[in-house]
Structure 1
Amino acid sequence: MDAERTESTTRPEEPAVSRVEQWENRTEWWLAAAALLFLGAYALPIIDPGIPPWLGNACTVVAALVWVLFAGDLAMRLYLAENRRRYLREHLFDVAIIVLPLLRPLQLLRLVTLLTILNRAGSHQLRGRVVTYLAGGTILLVLCGGLAMTDAERGHPDASIQSVADGLWWAVVTMTTVGYGDMYPVTTMGRYIALALMLGGIALLGVVTATFASWLVEKVSEANEEEEVATRRQVEQLRAEMRALREELQRSSGQPGR
């Protein structure tokens, strides 16, 4: 009993989970499903402009309901937070997701929730989280950039981007900084979208470069450690052989007639 008491008193206490964290753990996958539903409702009228009016209205209703859901989630987190003003200052981006999407392309900010959940569900190692976040961010950035650009440019008489395929091709070319120049935005909204995609592409390329460099450094370090271990093992073997030879010589010199 004393040993159990001693163990219980010396065992480190686990950090308490706040009410906000409990709420986030219960709702994060529901919010991810809502974000995917919103992506479908946003993309369908852009992919097929000739959809029936009732289906277009349904997509509008779904997008509005998802906005209400996200706004309610933020309101609940503020209600559960111990210091509401501090929580609000530390989560300004969540507020922006609710307040800013008055313009149609900015509504895609709601998909950032997917990146947050991917980051939590990724590997426990830092590099694993970075790779998971990077892969998800790249896919979402290309998809959202292509959709938003198509929505902004389609129908303009001088626009070269008139379909989703054109928008996705432009997004990949722009994000990778290739810049063929075969397609480019001509509307003001399209240029703002291009600016955001350029900045996002540069940031992703920087993360890729840093992650790859870190991986190379780790591999070189592991190879050096293996070589050092092998060298130490060989040195120990040589020392053992030298000790054995020294002992053999001492025994031989101590024998008579030698």
Structure 2
Amino acid sequence: MHVRNGPERLLRWERRMELPLFVGSAVFLGCYAVLVLAPHTSQGWRDLALAGVLLTWVVFLVDYLVRLALSGLGRHFPRKHWLDTVVLALPLLRPLRIVNAYSAVRRRHHGPRLSLYGRVMAYAGLSAVLLGFATALAVYQQERGAPGATIRTFGDSVWWAASAITTVGYGDVTPVTPWGRVFAVVLMACGVALLGAVTGSFSSWLIQLFGREDGAVEPGGPIDRDGRRPPGG
């Protein structure tokens, strides 16, 4: 389906939704934390937190449908924007939109103040923290009270999430429920990708830094220590 001035309208919509999606991601994480960590709070607070979780899902759904309509991609939209589709289907990944919205706002209003390597490390590190915290909440919700569970407190769940996302895997506490193990697979897969981005960017930054110190990275090609360019350089 073709929409008149679709690309321009889509761009305006995405800019308009930057702040709502940022707030929605933060509200979702806060409300979900209340539901998981305060099970004995008053029913009124629990209903309010549940309403916040559902409301943020509606916001993400409306944003997804509007972008689907304006993109003109039709049934190809989920494949082209698979991450948005996964985030909509898996609430566990919704807090990651905090990083996406924050970076978009920074680019729009202030511009990046960090180098490329710095931005990759900062955003990947923040994504890892948010994903680890959200997964710790989800796993703790599934594991507490389960027969044979080793994750009995939220502290146990945070410890497990930290060891899983860093691929250390001590094995002293592990999920035993089916959904807990599904969340574990998601965390480990995303953790490998995020930490790979951090370590790769850090290694590239070090190589570039040392290369400049050795005179290996100069405009026009490499030079030797005496300031002369080798033949063919």
TM-score normalized by the length of structure 1: 0.73
Instruction: Report the equivalent of 2:162.
Output: 172
Cα distance in 1 for residues equivalent to 2:151 and 2:78: 39
Cα distance in 1 for residues equivalent to 2:198 and 2:94: 24
Shift of 1:88: 4.3
| Higher share in helix | 1
Cα distance in 1 for residues equivalent to 2:70 and 2:28: 26
Cα distance in 1 for residues equivalent to 2:55 and 2:100: 21
Distance 1:75 1:200, change over 3 A: closer
Cα distance in 2 for residues equivalent to 1:189 and 1:79: 33
Runs of 4+ residues over 6 Å off in structure 1: none
Matched, 1:127 2:122: no
The answer for unaligned runs of 5 or more in structure 2 is 1-6, 229-233
Q: Is the 8 A contact 2:175 2:181 kept in 1?
A: yes
Cα distance in 1 for residues equivalent to 2:166 and 2:39: 28
Instruction: Report the equivalent of 2:52.
Output: 62
Instruction: Report the equivalent of 2:26.
Output: 36
Matches within 5 A, 1:80-229: 80-98=70-88, 100=89, 106-120=90-104, 121=106, 123=112, 125-225=115-215, 228=223
Tell me the secondary structure at the aligned position of residue 174 of structure 2: coil
Shift of 1:83: 4.1
Q: Is the 8 A contact 1:19 1:81 kept in 2?
A: no
Tell me the secondary structure at the aligned position of residue 186 of structure 1: coil
The answer for unaligned runs of 5 or more in structure 1 is 1-16, 101-105, 234-258
Instruction: Report the equivalent of 2:37.
Output: 47
Q: Is the 8 A contact 1:28 1:117 kept in 2?
A: yes
Instruction: Report the equivalent of 1:71.
Output: 61
| Residue number among 216, 229, 232 corresponding to 2:227 in the alignment | 232
Q: Is the 8 A contact 2:99 2:123 kept in 1?
A: yes
Q: Is the 8 A contact 1:142 1:172 kept in 2?
A: yes
Which one has the largest radius of gyration? 1
Q: What amino acid does structure 1 have at the position aligned with 2:94?
A: R
Superimposed CA distance per residue, residues 217-241 of structure 1 (whole angstroms, 9 cap, x where no aligned partner) = 10121112289587239xxxxxxxx
Superimposed CA distance per residue, residues 26-56 of structure 1 (whole angstroms, 9 cap, x where no aligned partner) = 2111111011001111111211221111211
Q: Which has the higher contact order (CA 8 A, sep 6+)?
A: 2
Q: Which moved more, 1:220-229 or 1:61-70?
A: 220-229
Cα distance in 2 for residues equivalent to 1:162 and 1:204: 27
Q: Is the 8 A contact 2:140 2:152 kept in 1?
A: yes
Percentage of pairs with the same residue = 36
Superimposed CA distance per residue, residues 195-234 of structure 1 (whole angstroms, 9 cap, x where no aligned partner) = 222222222232222112201210121112289587239x
TM-score normalized by the length of structure 2: 0.80
CA RMSD of aligned residues (A): 2.4
Superimposed CA distance per residue, residues 123-163 of structure 1 (whole angstroms, 9 cap, x where no aligned partner) = 37432331222121111121012111101101113112122
